Amino acid sequence: MPSYVSIAFEANLDTHYTYSVPDALKAGAVMGTRVMAPLGHSQRIGYIVDEDPAVPSGVKLKDILSLVDKKPMITPPLMRLALFVSEYYFCGLGQALKCFLPAPVRHRASDYGMVHVVKIKKDLKELNDLYDNTPERFWKKRNILRCLIVRKSSADQKSPFLLQQLKERAECDLASIRSLEKAGVLETALEQHWSLRDEGAALPNIPPELTESQKLAVSEVLKKKDIFAPFLLHGVTGSGKTEVYLHIIEEALKNNKTAVVLVPEIALTPQTADRFRGRFGSKVAVLHSAQSDKERHRQWWRIKEGEAKVVVGARSAVFSPVSELGCIIVDEEHESSYKQNGEAPYYNARDLAVMRAKLENCPVVLGSATPSLESVHNAEIGKYTLLRLTSRVCASADIKTELIDLNKEAQVASQFGVISRSLKSAIEECLAKREQAILFLNRRGYVPRLICPECYESLKCPSCSVPLAYHKRDNVLKCHLCGYTSEYLPPYSCPSCGTQLKPAGYGTQRVENLLHSLFPEARIGRMDRDTTSQIGAHEKILTAFADHEFDILLGTQMIAKGLDFHNVTLVGVLNADISLNTPDFRSGERTFQLVTRVVGRSGRGAKAGRSVVQSFTPEADVLNCAVKGDWEGFVKKEMRDRKELNYPPFSHIIEIVFKSKEAKKAYDSAKKFRNAIKKNVPRIPGYFYMTEVEEANPSFAFNEYRYQIHIRTTLVQAVAKELLAPFRELLKGRSGVRAQIDVDPV
């Protein structure tokens, strides 16, 4: 029992604080437990991160005030992972630990799941005798006894019988139940239960016969089931990667171990969870941010208490409190949505999955049809074992892909807008066969911007240097970065030259209107952030599409990842240039991945598939490689270019953005920091390069000016320790400037 403990608070604090432990609290004051402790003039919740640290003699310490939890919330393996997050992503340990507990868990006591249950004290014969001897005028008592008889006779006696259930089924009041409790017929108690609903509602699915390449992949992973072993599963779309995952997890469960499955998009979670529930039933728990607070709280505790053995979720599921971890799966490992944005620490769940597997000594499988170049490089140098699935499971399926030049289409078929003649014809053919189509456009709203036809200036958000998009349904202009909205009241004049601005481009709302006019009989669904803002909206739309309530599903990137609908025979990429023209060294990689993934949604069943990819730059090597499925050709060229410039995967990038409401302050702070760093560069071994101070993209956001420095290095932790740590004060924003450090930005 510790006399002293070190506490890490969730605030962005660099150091831990040491406190003494009162005798009454010593038994529960163990590492990983949350406590209430004084901090300055306030009281804060912190995490015990060390027991009995060295305390200088003569120092008088403050006492911790109380224990927040009855048992540790952070296990030793998770504490080690939190330490890595703190060191690698340059944040306080308390900030890192905050990631491990969802907000509903942090803000609610652990006894939140307490419910009133009914325990039957009489056997079946005694209950029947009581029922037969109770006069009919005591109908409430007879109803209760009848419910108890049914319950006693059922095969469901092990699950809790809720007091509320008894009241509803017997149509009685609490007083009637209490009278039988006094008579010794039943007993009510307050108990904690997390599994109070059917977690295995999905239809059971029978494991199909594995292909030879699937068997080989499963076998290779299971050979190393008890040690840390990272695998890269490179399988073409439709090659059955999920079935490989299921077999690996099944083996882990047989060995009384657990599994974590990460998916990149919340929209995928219901479909993936249903497939896993169909195989593993109530052992599956689901975690993602679109759940209600109550449901996230319940699912987390099901995992913590060991009721759930398989966790399926988005990036935060990497912090799941599972014990005896048997394997981690990262599906679509290349996806940028695994990167945390908006709030520190800016971790990448894919990389943390590998680190957690290392800390807990289990295999980790990174799966993708278009792996990230970082993972490809790790396979090439031997850090990862490469596994290949080179053919689709359904051998009869075929995909014909066509690349359309939108420049030519605009000259002869401008009336169709963003729908080319080839795509229009393909949609008509698809509808005639009662098949389904997916159309992809990574722009939501009605039009992306209002632009000046003379000087090409656009109307921007007053809080950000980002063009305002027009949303016709709500008749508003909206900033997709900060959420600013204003009523749409045209005409608008160019802020530079005064010319009247014109709507430019297509968003999903505008394309939806166009589709209704071109195909009036078609049932069209739209899936973007605007249509999925409500809890459960993702699942509702996908279920409707699976049930063929929609003929065409139009959407943004959330429909490009991992969806599996066997009646989809047509996919249209409406504008492949959107991701290609972004000012980012990864734009080519992202475009190749995106086009390949979207095209792969077609022809996943026995029916042949067709894909139409539209572009204003059809000559681009990236698009031609994607359309031809030439993964090796794309990787070879891209790797050569990256190596020449020492870009990832041949180095790591550390991005430091300085923000202030005054542009000069932001710039001066960035310059001062860069000069301070430059003096210490000789202390860093290995490759090191630092850019000049430059405007960030965007240069103005959330009413703050932004300037940035990029550091490229082969040794992130050395740079953090030797260069960044000594200048923490410069990064804290003491004079109205804030600094944000992002390691490995995507």
Q: Are 672 and 715 found together in one domain? A: yes
- Answer yes or no: is 229 within a domain: yes
Examine the pLDDT at 398 and tell me if it is beyond 60: yes
Asked if 384 and 403 sit in the same domain, the reply is: no
Q: How far apart are CA 472 and CA 501, in angstroms?
A: 16
- Return all residues near 509 (Cβ < 8 A) that are at least 6 apart: 444, 445, 446, 471, 472, 473, 526, 530
The answer to which of 182-191, 682-691, 694-703 has the lowest mean pLDDT is: 682-691
Residue 635 CB: number of other CB atoms within 10 A?
Answer: 19
- Nearest Cα neighbor of 287 from 265, 319, 307, 312 is 312
What local confidence, expressed as pLDDT, does residue 534 receive? 85
For residues 287 and 167, membership in a common domain is answered with no
Tell whether the model's pLDDT for residue 363 goes beyond 80: yes
Per-residue pLDDT tens over the stretch 526-566: 999 999 888 778 889 988 999 999 999 999 988 877 677 88
pLDDT digits (tens, 9 = 90+) for 116-174: 889 999 998 999 999 999 998 999 999 999 999 988 887 566 667 888 889 988 999 89
- State whether 135 and 101 are in the same domain: no
pLDDT confidence of residue 156 = 60
The answer to whether residue 479 sits within a structural domain is: no
Contact yes or no for 452/499 (Cβ under 8 A): yes
Give the position of tokens 């005896």.
Answer: 324
pLDDT above 90 as % of the chain: 69
Local confidence band at 293 (pLDDT 50, 70, 90 cut-offs): confident
Q: Do 426 and 366 lie in a common domain?
A: no
Write the CATH number for 683.
Answer: 3.30.70.260
Task: From 585, 606, 640, give the residue that closes a domain.
Answer: 640
CATH number for the domain spanning 360: value is: 3.40.50.300
Q: Please report, in angstroms and rounded to a whole number, the separation of the first and last CA atoms in the chain.
A: 45
Give the mean pLDDT of 569-580: 93
Integer Cα distance of 361 and 349 in angstroms: 17
Using an 8 Å Cβ cutoff, are 566 and 609 in contact?
no
Query: How does pLDDT run across 28-68, given as a tens digit for each residue?
Result: 999 999 999 999 889 999 999 999 998 888 888 999 999 99
Handedness of CA 409, 413, 415, 416 (dihedral sign): negative
Residue type, 400: K
Tokens in use for 157?
A: 């006696």
Does a structural domain hold residue 469? no
Q: Cβ(590)–Cβ(475) under 8 Å?
A: no
Q: How many CB atoms lie within 10 A of CB 168?
A: 11
Instruction: Based on the fold, state whether residues 225 and 340 are members of the same structural domain.
Output: yes
Give me the pLDDT at residue 396, please.
Answer: 47
Same structural domain for residues 361 and 438?
no
**Alpha carbon of 258 to those of 229, 284, 304, 306, 311: distances in Å?**
16, 10, 12, 9, 8
User: What is the per-residue pLDDT for 189?
Assistant: 86
Contact 706, 661 (CB under 8 A): no
Structure tokens at 35: 């406590």
What count of Cα atoms within 13 Å lies in the side-chain half-sphere of residue 443? 24
Residues 6+ apart with CB under 8 A from 507: 441, 443, 444, 445, 446, 447, 448, 469, 470, 471
Distance CA 739, CA 741 (A): 7
Reported confidence tier of residue 375, pLDDT bands at 50, 70, 90: very high
Task: Assess whether 252 and 377 both reside in one domain.
Answer: yes
Q: Would you say residue 196 lies in a domain?
A: no
Q: Which region holds residue 120: left if phi is over 0, alpha if psi is between -120 and 50, else beta?
A: beta
Separation between Cα atoms, residue 270 and residue 421, nearest integer Å: 35
Least confident of 184-188, 366-370, 677-681, 737-741: 677-681
Can you give the pLDDT at residue 267? 67
Percent of the chain with pLDDT over 70: 94
* Band of pLDDT at residue 193, cut at 50, 70 and 90: low
Examine the fold and report which residue of 60, 84, 109 is the final residue of a domain before the chain moves on. Answer: 109
Backbone angles phi, psi at 266, to 5 degrees: -55, -35
Q: How many alpha carbons fall within 13 Å on the CB side of residue 380?
A: 13
Residue 552: C-alpha distances to residues 392, 424, 441 (Å):
24, 12, 13
Average pLDDT of the residues in 177-198 = 79
Q: Are 597 and 369 in contact (CB under 8 A)?
A: yes
User: Are 334 and 428 in the same domain?
Assistant: no
DSSP 481: T
In this predicted model, what pLDDT tens digit does every residue of 637-665 receive, in sequence order?
999 999 999 999 999 999 999 999 999 99
Q: Which residue, of 389, 412, 437, is where some domain finishes?
A: 389
Same domain membership, residue 408 and residue 376 = no
Question: How far is the CA of 401 from the CAs of 119, 178, 398, 591, 608, in angstroms?
Answer: 63, 70, 10, 16, 11
Return the number of other C-beta atoms located less than 10 Å from residue 425's C-beta. Answer: 11
Under DSSP, the state recorded for 495 is T
Let me know if residue 497 belongs to a domain.
no
In this predicted model, what pLDDT tens digit does every residue of 581-631 receive, in sequence order?
888 999 999 999 999 988 888 887 778 889 999 999 999 999 999 999 899
**176-205: average pLDDT:** 74
The region of weakest confidence among 140-154, 188-202, 702-716, 727-741 is: 188-202
CA distances from 55 to 6, 18, 435 (A): 10, 8, 72
Q: Report whether the peptide linkage leading into residue 649 is cis, meaning its omega lies within 30 degrees of zero.
A: yes
| Residue closest to 9 by CA, chosen among 35, 28, 31, 41 | 35
Q: How many CB atoms lie within 10 A of CB 103?
A: 12
Q: Express each pLDDT in 399-426 by its tens digit.
A: 789 999 999 988 887 777 899 999 999 9
Indicate the pLDDT class of residue 395, thresholds 50, 70 and 90: very low
Averaged confidence pLDDT in the chain: 90
C-alpha distances in Å from residue 519, one per residue of 428, 429, 507, 550: 8, 12, 18, 13
Question: With contact defined as beta carbons under 8 Å apart, do 403 and 615 qualify?
Answer: yes
Query: Residue 192: its pLDDT value, please?
Result: 66
425: in domain = yes
d(CA 545, CA 540): 9
Domain membership flag for residue 483: no
Exposure letters 543-570 (e unless 16+ CB within 10 A, then b)? eebbeeebbbbbbbbbbbbbbbbebbbb
User: Where in the sequence is the domain holding 676, given as residue range(s)?
Assistant: 652-743
CATH of the domain at 32: 3.40.1440.60
CB distance 619 to 580 below 8 Å: no
522 has pLDDT over 80: yes
State residue 197's pLDDT score. Answer: 54
Whether residue 559 contacts residue 526, with contact meaning beta carbons closer than 8 Å, is answered with no
* Backbone φ, ψ for residue 355 (5° rounding): -65, -40
If pLDDT is split at 50, 70 and 90, which confidence band does 111 have? low
218, 367: one domain: yes
CA dist 96 and 87 (Å) reads: 10
**What is the H or E stretch that residue 275 is in?**
helix 269-280
Instruction: Answer whether residue 16 is part of any domain.
Output: yes
How many domains does one find in the chain?
Answer: 5
User: Between vectors from CA 255 to CA 240 and to CA 351, what angle results, nearest 5°?
Assistant: 55
* SS3 labels along 546-613: HCCCCCEEEECHHHCCCCCCCCEEEEEECCCHHHHCCCCCCHHHHHHHHHHHHHCCCCCCCCCEEEEE
- Would you state the pLDDT for residue 343? 87
Q: Do residues 517 and 431 both lie within one domain? A: yes
Q: Which residues contact 329 (CB under 8 A, 6 or more apart)?
A: 245, 248, 249, 259, 260, 261, 262, 364, 365, 367
Tokens of 7: 């506490």
Q: Which of 446, 409, 466, 398 is nearest to 605 (CA)?
A: 398
